[in-house]
């Protein structure tokens, strides 16, 4: 171990960071190592020890902190925080340090995504023409599928009960999944709307720590919700979109607060009140559920998805651990957008693979776009697991059990 010289320490570093955080909680570190013990990946590769990282901060080792790859290796999953006796939020510390980075030096294409989102209004840089044409295509497909030539996607509807915000991947890549979700909305008969102005609920600046970018990305969609006068903001199956909307609203929104809920919470309510009817015998495979860190640990949504699953899945086997104590899949903290760290993402993912295999699951419900991309990569990287389980969003599995309402005869 190298000698630490007092003359090389920066006594002001802690105060500088505390000012950014508006808190000195990291200075309460007991160096007990519970954070490292709680991190499922501290033993997977080098430079992934939260205790050592916090010690560098508290000792004023500014140069060493900014040279430590931990800043970008950390998935910001907060698994260490729930083990910490002082409840130090390491993810918040990491995000704050990332926010001091020069934007042109941020790894991968994180900043490119942020810039494109600010410019185009969505993270996939989908043009307005392509967006509207995709919605028209989905509408045509649903008219055929539902046998309802009058079906229309409710766009820009003033005063709708629900405003639906989703992921740009659902337009650029997975339009069929948006189609499935809108089919569920149709079957349940809910009053909702989709905006043609602002609709992408994701925010890559959640990972970069660049708060000016965060506000530039998310403020317009909150303003669009308010302009349309909706009652509740519903976020798609995307952990970081849900976290961005919830945490971002608490942190940056200055207007009147409004309810923001995950789509799985809404779907559970629709099942419970009978609006959405599901066949309890339709899904017979062994099914397990992955808790996205941003949805479960950070925003407290883990019970509703399981209650929803048990309403239509006969053979549900939970991972161990799960819920608040779940393991990050390895793609958090923007990992999917930093290809230079693919080998690290792969190494971390093996722990999640082992969890899945232990359940014997044939289907893994993965209610997050980043997570499902990681799970699909893991199937390729670990061929011994390929074919043993299929990764799906919850809405796709629900569609298999959906009982469509009887059509009412026209008067």
Q: According to the model, what pLDDT value does residue 387 have?
A: 56
Tokens of 213: 């970018």
CB 360 within 8 A of CB 389: no
CB 203 within 8 A of CB 239: no
Q: According to the model, what pLDDT value does residue 385 have?
A: 61
What are the strands, taking DSSP E only, across 190-243?
A: 192-193, 232-235
Q: According to the model, what pLDDT value does residue 410 have?
A: 57
Asked if the bond preceding 385 is cis, omega within 30° of 0, the reply is no
User: The dihedral of CA 38, 42, 47, 51: what is its sign?
Assistant: positive
Alpha-carbon separation of residue 59 from 16, 63, 71 (angstroms): 13, 11, 17
Alpha-carbon separation of residue 165 from 169, 263, 365, 400 (angstroms): 12, 10, 20, 23
What architecture is the 6-100 domain classified under in CATH?
Orthogonal Bundle (1.10)
- Over its C-alpha atoms, the chain yields an Rg (Å, rounded) of 22
Residue 201 CB partners (closer than 8 Å, separation 6+): 165, 166, 167, 221, 235, 236, 238, 241, 242, 244, 245
- The pTM for the full model equals 0.95
- Residue for token digits 């539902």? 146
Q: According to the model, what pLDDT value does residue 409 have?
A: 56
For residue 345, count CB atoms less than 10 angstroms from its CB and return exposed for 0-12, middle for 13-18, buried for 19 or more: buried
Tokens of 280: 């309890």
Q: According to the model, what pLDDT value does residue 7 have?
A: 66
Domain boundaries, the chain: 6-100, 123-269, 278-402
Rounded to 5 degrees, φ, ψ at 349 are -65, -25
| Ranges of the chain with pLDDT below 70 | 1-2, 6-7, 384-388, 408-411
Alpha carbon distance 342, 347 (integer Å): 9
Domain 278-402: which CATH class? Answer: alpha beta
Neighbouring C-alpha atoms within 13 Å toward the C-beta of 279 = 12
Residue 4 CB partners (closer than 8 Å, separation 6+): 59, 61
């Amino acid at each position: 171990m190298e000698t630490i010289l007092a003359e090389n320490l920066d006594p002001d570093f802690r105060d500088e960071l505390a000012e950014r955080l508006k808190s000195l909680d990291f200075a309460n570190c007991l160096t007990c190592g519970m954070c490292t013990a709680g991190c499922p990946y501290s033993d997977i590769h080098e430079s992934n020890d939260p205790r050592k990282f916090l010690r560098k901060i508290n000792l004023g080792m500014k140069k060493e902190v900014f040279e430590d790859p931990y800043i970008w290796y950390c998935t910001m999953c907060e698994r260490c925080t729930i083990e910490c006796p002082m409840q130090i939020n390491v993810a918040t510390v990491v995000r704050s340090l990332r926010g001091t980075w020069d934007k042109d030096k941020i790894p991968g294409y994180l900043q490119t995504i942020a810039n494109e989102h600010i410019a185009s209004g969505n993270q996939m840089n989908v043009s307005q023409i392509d967006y509207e044409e995709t919605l028209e295509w989905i509408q045509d497909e649903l008219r055929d599928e539902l046998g309802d030539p009058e079906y229309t996607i409710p766009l820009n509807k003033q005063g709708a009960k629900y405003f639906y915000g989703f992921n740009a991947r659902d337009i650029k890549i997975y339009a069929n999944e948006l189609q499935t979700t809108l089919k569920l909305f149709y079957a349940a008969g809910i009053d909702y709307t989709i905006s043609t102005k602002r609709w992408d609920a994701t925010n890559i600046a959640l990972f970069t720590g660049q708060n000016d970018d965060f506000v530039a990305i998310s403020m317009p969609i909150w303003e669009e919700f308010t302009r349309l006068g909706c009652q509740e903001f519903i976020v798609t199956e995307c952990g970081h979109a849900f976290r961005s909307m919830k945490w971002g609203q608490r942190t940056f929104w200055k207007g009147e607060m409004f309810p923001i809920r995950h789509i799985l919470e809404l779907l559970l309510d629709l099942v419970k009140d009978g609006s959405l009817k599901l066949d309890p015998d339709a899904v017979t495979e062994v099914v397990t559920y992955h808790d996205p860190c941003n949805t479960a640990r950070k925003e407290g949504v883990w019970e509703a998805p399981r209650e929803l699953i048990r309403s239509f899945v006969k053979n549900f086997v939970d991972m161990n651990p799960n819920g608040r104590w779940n393991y990050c899949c390895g793609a958090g903290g923007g990992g999917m957008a930093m290809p230079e760290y693919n080998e690290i993402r792969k190494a971390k993912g093996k722990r999640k693979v082992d969890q899945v295999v232990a359940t014997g699951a044939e289907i893994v419900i993965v209610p997050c776009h980043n997570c499902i991309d990681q799970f699909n990569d893991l199937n390729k990287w670990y061929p011994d697991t390929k074919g043993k389980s299929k990764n799906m969003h919850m809405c796709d599995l629900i569609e298999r059990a959906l009982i469509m309402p009887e059509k009412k005869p026209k008067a």
